[in-house]
Structure 1
């Protein structure tokens, strides 16, 4: 893979790209199951939907969809449980810390653009000691429309003063690549993340695919 040149800013999705949050998301879903007297499910069942938020986690945990009358109550319980355990088992993926440090040593800024709400994003980033290092931290509730709309990425460009042509977005979901394209920037698909069933990663239309964090580091070198 040839490195992506002329970059001033690297933007990352959060869940499944920078941080492995699936264990705590699944743990919160299992606490909702426990409220109903149900046994816990294995982490592996939650991983493919970890980027889909409460909707995805509760679908796996309880077969609940947003149109179910119990969904709001279970969603609120899930979010409360998750907020209480944000970094109990969550951590940056292996190699992420070194990769971020390498960007900083090059004088290159990095930031986060996520569909997670800020009341979860900000404390998670702070507890992992990443918040102060990021050039921007943009959550879904900061903009009218979340990814795949480009609103949150455009806000990141506004706040950092970076040009779209000198920025790349890294994410583990098709909507990440769609949002980057809509914002007029290059994109890298993160193959180590929570790749959900559906369109194969090779067909997302990303400018590059990094199967591992090491490959991402090479692309950003």
Structure 2
């Protein structure tokens, strides 16, 4: 059985987006007369999404007027960063060559993310990548950990889910991949604040480097 497609989570898996979030969140804190947070503290929260980062920086809960106002300010500032072409987000080391290998071998690849489409789509040109499928929460009724987004990506790539791999740095990625009947790979270079949570996710495989990933892939199909 041949491998037909590889799907990636975006933030913390394929792309290091933390530098943008660190810059935006700490700029907000300074403007609100608070000291910047340690970069590592913000980095470990990125996969939780915008709400978790705002909660980290300012406290409060979604639905509270002050929190919702800060959330909108955060999203506006992040959007300004991405749309202006000033993003510092980069592919994690090794993915340039790995994606080129996929193209050479005729393996389709795409991105399935919980990042809103307006941000995810705007990042692609600055990263110089063109995924054959980019599925965001805007495109489905239920985002990850539901399997709908992953199955939609398979439809777009004309790939069988059982011949598709999904990589992620969050438990919801692994759950979504499992629910979609895909081979799941947890990546250890992502954003999480627990010392070693990955083994508890029960992914099919765990990789610590892109070199290890490149060695693993030929053995799976």
TM-score by length of 2: 0.92
Q: Residue 38 of structure 2 corresponds to which residue in structure 1?
A: 42
Aligned pairs for 1:23-38 (under 5 A) are: 23-38=19-34
Q: 1:126 Cα shift?
A: 2.2
Q: Residue 174 of structure 2 corresponds to which residue in structure 1?
A: 177
Q: 1:18 Cα shift?
A: 0.5
Work out which of the residue numbers 52, 67, 90 in structure 1 matches 2:48.
52
Task: Answer yes or no: is 1:84 the counterpart of 2:84.
Answer: no
C-alpha distance in 1 between matches for 2:140 and 2:31: 34
C-alpha distance in 2 between matches for 1:38 and 1:149: 37
Aligned residues of 2:188 and 2:206 also touching (Cα < 8 A) = yes
Q: Unmatched 5+ residue regions in structure 2?
A: none
Q: Classify 1:148/1:69 alpha carbon distance in 2 versus 1 (closer, same or farther; 3 Å).
A: same
Task: Return 63-72 or 22-31, whichever deviates more.
Answer: 63-72
Task: Return 9-18 or 76-85, whichever deviates more.
Answer: 76-85
C-alpha distance in 2 between matches for 1:178 and 1:146: 12
Aligned pairs for 1:126-145 (under 5 A) are: 126-130=125-129, 132=130, 134-145=131-142
Aligned pairs for 1:159-170 (under 5 A) are: 159-170=156-167
SS of the aligned residue for 1:84 comes to: helix
Q: 1:150 Cα shift?
A: 0.6
C-alpha distance in 2 between matches for 1:109 and 1:89: 26
C-alpha distance in 1 between matches for 2:87 and 2:120: 15
Q: Residue 123 of structure 1 corresponds to which residue in structure 2?
A: 122
Work out which of the residue numbers 50, 68, 73 in structure 1 matches 2:69.
73
Aligned residues of 2:87 and 2:126 also touching (Cα < 8 A) = no
C-alpha distance in 1 between matches for 2:212 and 2:196: 22
Task: Answer yes or no: is 1:6 the counterpart of 2:13.
Answer: no
Q: 1:198 Cα shift?
A: 8.5
Aligned residues of 1:31 and 1:81 also touching (Cα < 8 A) = no
Q: 1:199 Cα shift?
A: 7.8
C-alpha distance in 1 between matches for 2:113 and 2:32: 31
Q: 1:68 Cα shift?
A: 2.9
TM-score by length of 1: 0.92
Work out which of the residue numbers 17, 20, 45 in structure 2 matches 1:21.
17
C-alpha distance in 2 between matches for 1:74 and 1:213: 36
Q: 1:158 Cα shift?
A: 1.5
C-alpha distance in 2 between matches for 1:142 and 1:197: 31
Q: Unmatched 5+ residue regions in structure 1?
A: none
